[in-house]
Amino acid sequence: MTVFIIRRLMQSLAVVLVMSFIVFGGVNIVGDPVEMMVSDEATQEEREKVIRSMGLDKPWYVQYGRFVAGALEGNLGKSFVYGEPALEIIIHRIPATFELALAALLLAIVIGIPLGVYAGLKPDTVASKSIMAGSILGFSLPTFWVGLMFIMVFAVILGWLPSTGRGDTVPLLGIDVSFLTLDGLAHLFLPALNLALFKISLVIRLARAGTREVVHQDYIKFARAKGLTNSRVVLVHLMKNIMIPVVTVLGLEFGGLIAFSVVTESVFAWPGMGKLIIDSIQSLDRPVIVAYLMIIVLIFVIINLVVDVLYSILDPRVRLSEMKS
C-alpha cells in the first residue's frame, strides 16, 4: 500500500510538472499582457521598461525557469489587476468554493444513493419511475436557469431562503466557513442544491444501474440464503459493490464541481474562485490565470490519488494487483 501511494505521488509530481509547462506556454500564446498594462499614450521607452520589469524581454525558457523557481517558493507572480500576489488572491477565495462544492457533493451522496438504490430494488413502482423521470430533468435543465428559478421561488416568492452571498461566517481552523452558522447554512443551501442537481441525477443513475446489476448476482441470493436480514444484504453486500463506480465518478466529478462552479457562483453571487477566474480571463490577468490553473491541476491530481486509495479500500482485487505490479 505504501509503495503504491509513493509511486502514485511520483506520477502526480510528473503530471504537475508537465501541466505547469502547458499552462505557462498556453497563457503566453493567448495574448500580450503588456497591452493591458500600458496606456496607449506610453512611449516606446516606457513600454520597454514595463516589459523588462515583468521579465518579458528574456527568452521563454528563462521565463519558464523563473516561473518554476518562483512556484517552488510559493510565488506565482503578482496580479496585474489587484497588485497582490496571485496565489493569495485565489487562496483567499478557495474556502468559499470548496465549501460550496463539498456541500453539493454531500447532497449528491445523501440524496442520490438512497434514491438510486431504491429505484434499483423496486424498479416497477410509481415512486421509482418518478425518481428516474426526475433524474432526467436534473440532467437536462441548465444550471443557470434552475438557479434563477430557485431564487425566484424560494427567495422572491416564498421568501424562505436568502439568494446572495455567504451570510455569516465563523473561522474554523483559520478558515471562514458558512455552514456553522444558521444564517450561513441558509445562504449555502440553495447554491449547493443548484450545483448538486446534476450530480444527484448522475448518482441516482449510477446507483440504480449498479443495484440492478448486483441484485441479480449469485452472492446476493447466497447472502439471503444464509438468512441475513434484508437491511444487511442491502446495506453491506449490495452497497459495497455498487460504491465502486459511484466513488470513482464522484471523485472525478468533484474536481469538476470546483472548477466549474462558475455558473452557480455567478447566479448566487457566491464569492468563490469561479467568479474570479472569469474576471481574470477577461482582463488577461496572467498570474492569476496561471495560479488558478495550477491550483486546479493540483486539486485534480490530489482527488485522483484519493479516489485510487478509496478504490483499493473498496475493492480488494485492485489492492492486490496494484501491489504486485
Partner 1 sequence: MTDGAPTLQVDNLETHFFTKDGVAKAVDGVSFTVNRGEIMGLVGESGSGKSVTGFSILGLVDPPGRVVGGRVLFQGTDLLTLDPEGLRQLRGNRIAMIFQDPMMTLNPVLRVDTQMIETVRAHDSSVSADDARARARDALGQVGIPSPDERLKAYPHQFSGGMRQRVAIAIALLNKPDLIIADEPTTALDVTIQGQILYEAQKLCRETGTALIWITHDLAVIAGLADQISVMYAGRIVEQGMLDEVLDRPAHPYTQGLLGSVPGHNTRGKRLYQIPGMTPSLLNLPKGCAFKERCPHVDLACEAAPEITHPLPGRAVRCVHPQLNAGGRAS
Query: What is the binding site for partner 1 (CB under 8 A)?
Result: 216-219, 221-229, 232, 236-237, 240-241, 244, 314-317, 320
Q: How far is the CB of 94 from partner 1 (least distance, A)?
A: 35
Closer of 49 and 232 to partner 1 (Cβ): 232
- Concatenated DSSP letters of 245-264: HHHHHHHHHHHHHHHTTHHH
Closer of 73 and 124 to partner 1 (Cβ): 124
Q: How far is the CB of 148 from partner 1 (least distance, A)?
A: 43
CB-CB contact of 161 with 155 (8 Å): yes
Cα 292 to Cα 96, 129, 237, 261, 278: the distances in Å are 15, 42, 42, 13, 11
- Which distant-in-sequence residues (6+ apart) come within 8 Å of 261 by Cβ? 97, 100, 101, 195, 270, 272, 274
Beta bridge partners of 176: 171
Q: How far is the CB of 312 from partner 1 (least distance, A)?
A: 11
Closer of 190 and 223 to partner 1 (Cβ): 223
Q: How far is the CB of 208 from partner 1 (least distance, A)?
A: 17
Closer of 309 and 314 to partner 1 (Cβ): 314
Q: How far is the CB of 220 from partner 1 (least distance, A)?
A: 8
- Concatenated DSSP letters of 116-144: HHHHHHSTTSHHHHHHHHHHHHHHHS-HH
Closer of 229 and 282 to partner 1 (Cβ): 229
CB-CB contact of 249 with 206 (8 Å): yes
Q: Find how far residue 236's CA is from the centre of its chain.
A: 28
Closer of 18 and 236 to partner 1 (Cβ): 236
Other beta carbons less than 10 A from residue 159's beta carbon: 8
Q: How far is the CB of 116 from partner 1 (least distance, A)?
A: 18
